[in-house]
């Protein structure tokens, strides 16, 4: 990878799902699960996030090499491997912590996010409700939440919820896989 890495921060329901998808993309490194976008100061705990009272979203933050994979390609994968049309919910996970969100790091990312959403909208019957906001403070989740799918593939949640997302990724975006 080049030294011209950029950073991205995305949330689409449980961070384990988004992490598992993004980790498989070529040109992506340093994928960290965590929390962002809340109103409560300080480093929130997983339990506090799950209460829905802090306003934080479960997100991942990662580096990518734009000479290998573009931000636009990453966003296309992101917006088609979760449901960006459901407000504060992904499957059985409900609450603002599970919202679909793109936290942009600069104006170029913001503009690309707006454009990709406009392009991807035609594939959905309902309107895309993904939040687009400037990146706030990112808080890293504890070690047990990192690399979750890779470390726990036999766990029920991984087999039932994450496996289909990874399968969809492989069928739609094999050309982007590491």
Question: Between 3 and 36, where is the model more confident?
Answer: 36
102 strand-pairing partners? 10, 132
pLDDT tens across 49-80, in order? 988 889 999 999 999 999 999 999 999 999 99
Q: In percent, how much of the chain has pLDDT > 70?
A: 99
CA Rg value for the chain:
15
Indicate whether 9 pLDDT > 70.
yes
* Catalytic option among 14, 17, 50, 158: 14
Closest CA to 116 of 72, 83, 169: 72
- The 3-class secondary structure across 82-125, one letter per residue, is CCCCCCCEECCEECHHHCEEEEECCHHHHHHHHHHHHHHHHHCC
On average, the pLDDT of the chain sits at 94
Listed by start position, the domains of the chain span 6-176
**CATH number 3.30.1060.10 given to 6-176:** yes
Clarify whether 158 is annotated catalytic: no
At residue 41, the pLDDT reads 82
- Tell me the whole-structure pTM to 2 decimals: 0.94
Mean pLDDT of 120-138: 96
Length of the chain: 178
Residue among 130, 152, 157 nearest 57 (CA): 130
At 78 the pLDDT is 97
- pLDDT score at 128: 97
Q: Tokens 């994979």 belong to which residue?
A: 69
């Amino acid at each position: 990878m080049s030294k011209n890495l950029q950073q991205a921060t995305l949330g689409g329901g449980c961070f384990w799902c988004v992490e598992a998808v993004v980790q498989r993309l070529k040109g992506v490194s340093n994928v960290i699960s965590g929390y962002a976008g809340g109103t409560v100061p300080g480093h929130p705990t997983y339990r506090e996030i799950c209460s829905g009272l802090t306003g934080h979203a479960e997100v991942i933050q990662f580096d990518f090499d734009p000479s290998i994979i573009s931000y636009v390609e990453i966003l296309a994968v992101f917006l088609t491997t979760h449901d960006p049309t459901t407000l504060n919910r992904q499957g059985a996970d409900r609450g603002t912590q599970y919202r679909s969100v793109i936290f942009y790091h600069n104006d170029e990312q913001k503009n690309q996010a707006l454009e990709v959403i406009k392009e991807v909208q035609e594939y959905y019957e309902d309107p895309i409700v993904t939040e687009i906001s400037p990146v706030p403070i990112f808080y890293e989740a504890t070690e047990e939440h990192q690399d979750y799918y890779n470390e726990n593939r036999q766990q029920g949640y991984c087999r039932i919820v994450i496996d289909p997302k990874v399968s969809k990724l492989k069928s739609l975006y094999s050309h982007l896989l590491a």
